[in-house]
Chain A
Amino acid sequence: LAKTTQPISMDSYEGQEVNITCSHNNIATNDYITWYQQFPSQGPRFIIQGYKTKVTNEVASLFIPADRKSSTLSLPRVSLSDTAVYYCLVGVFSGGYNKLIFGAGTRLAVHP
Chain B
Amino acid sequence: DSGVTQTPKHLITATGQRVTLRCSPRSGDLSVYWYQQSLDQGLQFLIQYYNGEERAKGNILERFSAQQFPDLHSELNLSSLELGDSALYFCASSVVGAAEVNTGELFFGEGSRLTVL
Known: A45-B108, A46-B106. A93 touches B45 (CB 8 A): no
List the A residue with the shortest CB-CB distance to B43.
A102
How would residues 25 to 46 of chain A score, 1 for a CB under 8 Å from any chain B CB and 0 otherwise? 0000010101010000111111
Tell me whether B107 and A98 are in contact (CB under 8 A): no
Residues of B near A45 (CB, < 8 A) are 2, 108
**How many A residues touch the partner, as a band?**
20 to 34
Tell me whether A93 and B101 are in contact (CB under 8 A): yes
Tell me whether A95 and B99 are in contact (CB under 8 A): yes
Tell me whether B50 and A95 are in contact (CB under 8 A): yes
Q: Which of B11-19, B65-73, B89-97 contacts A (4 or more CB under 8 A)?
A: B89-97
Residues of A near B103 (CB, < 8 A) are 32, 34, 49, 51, 92-93
B111 within 8 A of A: yes
**Interface residues of A, dominant DSSP:** loop
Tell me whether B111 and A94 are in contact (CB under 8 A): no
B117 within 8 A of A: no
Residues of A near B88 (CB, < 8 A) are 41
List the interface of chain A (C-beta within 8 A of B).
30, 32, 34, 36, 41-46, 49, 51, 87, 92-105
13 further A-B pairs in the complex, CB-CB below 8 A; given A42-B111, A98-B56, A102-B43: A30-B101, A36-B106, A46-B106, A46-B107, A92-B103, A93-B94, A96-B55, A97-B55, A98-B48, A98-B50, A99-B48, A101-B58, A105-B42
